[in-house]
């Protein structure tokens, strides 16, 4: 099960990176979607007992929420550690 959750977490990390990517038609990164995907990745890594990767994903989620100026989610992300 931990391998399955690790793969799920990696998929969420890939989707978050895709949301942050800009291009010719997409000029601004989508921090809201990326923050949610990083939070889902952190949850999957936490279940898989990969605590260091979960902490990294939570840190990236908090950074995305700070960019959106959504301070409630940043605060709740920091207190869940």
Tell me the per-residue pLDDT of 44-59, one tens digit each, with 9 for 90 and over. Answer: 999 999 999 999 999 9
φ, ψ of residue 26 in degrees (nearest 5): -115, 105
Structure tokens at 19: 């949301």
Nearest to 65 by CA among 76, 55, 50: 76
pLDDT of residue 69: 78
Q: What is the pTM of this model?
A: 0.83
Q: Is 5 exposed, middle or buried (0-12, 13-18, 19+ CB in 10 A)?
A: middle
User: Is 46 within 8 Å of 17 (Cβ atoms)?
Assistant: no
Helix axes 51-68, 31-47, angle to 10 degrees: 160
Ranges of residues in the chain with a pLDDT under 50 are: none
pLDDT of residue 35: 93
User: Could you tell me the residue ranges of all domains in the chain?
Assistant: 2-79
């Amino acid at each position: 099960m931990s391998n399955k959750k690790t793969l799920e977490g990696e998929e969420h990390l890939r989707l978050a990176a895709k949301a942050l990517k800009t291009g010719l038609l997409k000029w601004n990164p989508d921090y809201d979607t990326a923050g949610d995907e990083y939070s889902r990745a952190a949850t999957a890594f936490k279940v898989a007992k990969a605590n260091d990767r979960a902490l990294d994903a939570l840190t990236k989620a908090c950074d995305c929420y700070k960019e959106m100026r959504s301070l409630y989610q940043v605060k709740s992300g920091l207190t869940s550690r």
